[in-house]
Structure 1
Amino acid sequence: MIVTVLRCLFLVFVIILTIGGNVLVCLAVGLSRRLRRLANSFVVSLAVADLLLGLLVLPLSATVELRSRKWPFGGTLCNIYISLDVMLCSCSILTLLAISVNRYLAISSPLSHSRIVTPQRVTLAIISIWLLSLAAAFLPIHLGWNTADYRVQNLDWGIGDEDKEEHYCQYEWNNNYVLIYVFGTFYLPLLLMCGMYLCIFRVAREQVRRIRATTPSFARSASLTIVQEHKATVTLAAVLGAFIICWFPYFTFFTCMGIREKTIPANTLHSVVLWLGYFNSTLNPILYPAFNRDFRRAYRELLRCRGPPRRKLQLAHMSVQKPLAFINGIKVSAQSKKNIDTVKTESEKSPTLYEENSPDESR
């Protein structure tokens, strides 16, 4: 009983954290001017995929875990559930591939990056990623490509049939199809991303060496942009590393089960590697502020809900104080020209005026 309660609390915590964190990412990019950049469109797309996973897939997965992995909702909904799971996972890795390509172009060709990566091309890339993920997920399952006899799986299930017969809602794997699917949607994009980031770090290291060898005036103008691009690269490399750690065990397990002649019902190991993969959608919103100052700042402003107004009031207060102090200083200097004794008297009456102006004059 205690173990079941702890499992329930853990699953609910993961779901809430996944939904809340990815909503926060979307709001941060949408409301913060510093994050409202073209490259962050891919970050929002990744956050939307993780958010949909938390809303549509994780509650059903948690229900299955708490019901001893039995599926109570019928075969049609099982196929839709599996398709959504596969689609959102494929969308995540393809988005990460697009992010790595964008990073490579930003680091290797910073001058021509804005001409290559245009808003129209970014929009087309994001739409293509979602359509390709949709096709790769729904077509094989609903056309029977993944089963040994090429028939659509689970069509003979009815709602509530788990009481009569044990039904486990999982992907059925045909030996040839599973190898093509896993290689095309995971291992090949993963190899491309790793190679892309290796090239990125080589180019970044070469740029740092060149900046140090240039004149100070050029270094000041070029280093700021390069440093910002390098910080974004480190952030997205951490996101990629978390994706590999979370999803590589599942796809390895998926491949090993696929080369068997018969699909084995879900067991504890399957649940562990599956939820480890799901946990990647929880980690992404945590990794952004951990490696990116702009995201940390946007998160604080969203959570406090008073950050930006206070800053604006402070800036307005300072902008009003400085002209007043300047005007008062002019008045005092004019009086000092007329009568030195009057200046001494004024300084004794209001010494704080000169104390406030002295630091500005020293600057």
Structure 2
Amino acid sequence: MASQNKCHHNELMGFFYSNRNQTKDDWDSTQLILVQCVGSIFCCFILVSNAMVIAAVITNRRFHYPFYYLLANLAASDFLAGIAYVYLMFNTGKVSRELTVHGYFFRQGLLDTSLSASLANLLVIALERYISVMNWKVHSNLTKRRVTLLIVLVWGISIVMGAVPILGWNCTCNLDLCSTLAPIFSRSYLIFWSVSNLVIFLIMVSIYLRIYAYVKKKTSVLTPHTSGSMNRKRTPIKLIKTVMTVLGAFVVCWTPGLVVLLLDGLNCERCKVLKFKRWLLLLAVLNSVMNPIIYSYKDKEMWITFKNMLRCVFDGTRRQRSSRANARSISSGHEMGNSLRVSDDNKASTQEMLKS
């Protein structure tokens, strides 16, 4: 009873790991280095690709539509996920036992906020696609004001989801309620977080299944009529492929981690959730790697914009190199000219001396 009434805010994380019988790290140095290497590759791709998506939407006026604004917001959330995972990788293992309670809350809160934002953005994009497809339009009629409100709402909900544990929904004052995967998080919070995300997942599945059924029906109606525009025929096919890719990627990357979190929240002692801890997190981050490919790289206009951006970067570096080379050649030419002038002056002076 005394341990339940006493709060442990000033303890290091090693105390809470010991409370959950995590007396040593289950991963040796080789496995940890392997996870860090693979994670670093993922994070580099996440940061670069999502930064290119944001830059493309800003610079290209053809992307100034609600879908692409939401796409840029998804890229921003995935960019934050890359930063959060880099911070997590180098504050895990033995280092995590030396973290303070607030340091651990910051580490997990940053990750939860980014992942919640990615998931919420996927849901908003699904709703936007539903509105546009039901009206059989390429882009929805959402105004910039409504899109801005949606983006603010996404980040507001994500920040709240990431900050809930530090605001009080934790087990620092009741160690019996602590979870295994996150030793200062309450098991009830893990249940809430995993169930809410699974519910959002089911909503997304139902939305995309409704879109799939509608597009399939509409396509079958338009197929006999060859006089229809090419855009009407191509858009449903692309949409069906995108829907199937999104559903497959989301199921593979998110479902295992959410199920393990739910089992930990339900205090499943036989499940051995620590075995899959880092691998499932790496799999969840893989979704942030795939999002730019699924939502952007299949768009020909987006891909052309990427190529133009890369050409500008390479041309800029080439121009800098050529300008530096020209500057060096000009400076060397000036030096040669000055030396020749000096030599001519010396010759003239010697000739005058000989005449005198």
Give SS of 2:149's match. helix
CA distance in 1, matches of 2:32, 2:200: 38
Which residue of 2 is the match for residue 76 of structure 1? 102
The verdict on how the C-alpha distance between 1:93 and 1:8 changes in structure 2, with shifts beyond 3 A counting, is closer
1:83–1:137 contact (8 Å) kept in structure 2: yes
Q: Is the counterpart of residue 22 in structure 1 residue 76 in structure 2?
A: no
State the match for 1:118 in structure 2: 143
Q: Contact 2:126–2:204 at 8 Å: present in 1 too?
A: yes
Structure 2 residue 252 is the aligned partner of structure 1 residue 252: no
- The two structures have a TM-score, normalised by structure 2, of 0.70
TM-score, normalized by length of structure 1?
Answer: 0.68
Deviation of 1:289 after TM superposition, in Å, equals: 4.7
* 1:151-199 Cα deviation digits (max 9, x unpaired): 9x99xxxxxxxxxxxxx98364434443233222x11111111011011
Tell me if 1:170 matches 2:182.
yes
* Partner secondary structure for residue 193 of structure 2: helix
Among 36, 45, 58, the alignment partner of 2:85 is 58
Residue matched to 1:86: 112
Measure the CA separation in 2 of the matches of 1:261 and 1:208.
48
* Deviation, structure 1 residue 99: 0.8
Moved more, 188-197 or 27-36: 27-36
In structure 2, distance between residues paired with 1:277 and 1:91 = 13
AA matched with 1:293: K
Kindly indicate whether residue 198 of structure 2 is the aligned counterpart of residue 187 of structure 1.
Answer: yes
Match of 2:171 among 147, 163, 166: 147
Unaligned runs of 5+ in 1: 155-167, 309-363
Deviation at 1:238, TM superposition (A): 2.2
Secondary structure class of the residue paired with 1:305: helix
In 2, are the aligned partners of 1:49 and 1:92 still within 8 Å (CA)? yes
Work out the percentage of aligned pairs sharing the same amino acid.
22
Alignment of 1:211 onto 2:237? no
1:61 partner letter:
L
Aligned amino acid, residue 87 of structure 2: L
In structure 1, distance between residues paired with 2:97 and 2:212: 46
Give the residue type in structure 2 aligned to 1:291.
Answer: K
- Which residue of structure 2 lines up, in the alignment, with residue 131 of structure 1? 156
Decide which moves more: 124-133 or 288-297: 288-297
Deviations 1:213-271 (A, max 9, x none): 3361xx12xx4156336525633552343222111111111111111178x99834101
Equivalent in the alignment of 1:269: 276
What is the total number of aligned residue pairs between the two structures? 285
> Unpaired segments of 5 or more residues in structure 2?
1-28, 316-356
Q: 1:46 to 1:171 in 2, by over 3 A?
A: farther
Distance 1:237 1:120, change over 3 A: farther
- Counterparts in 2 of 1:226 and 1:119: CA distance versus 1, 3 Å: farther
CA offset digits 1:292-350 (Å, max 9, x no partner): 22222222122222899xxxxxxxxxxxxxxxxxxxxxxxxxxxxxxxxxxxxxxxxxx
SS of 2:63's equivalent? coil
Q: Provide closer, same or farther for how the CA distance between residues 38 and 307 of structure 1 changes in structure 2, counting only shifts above 3 A.
A: farther
1:196 aligned partner, one-letter code: I
- Aligned residue runs from structure 1 range 275-294, under 5 A: 275-294=282-301
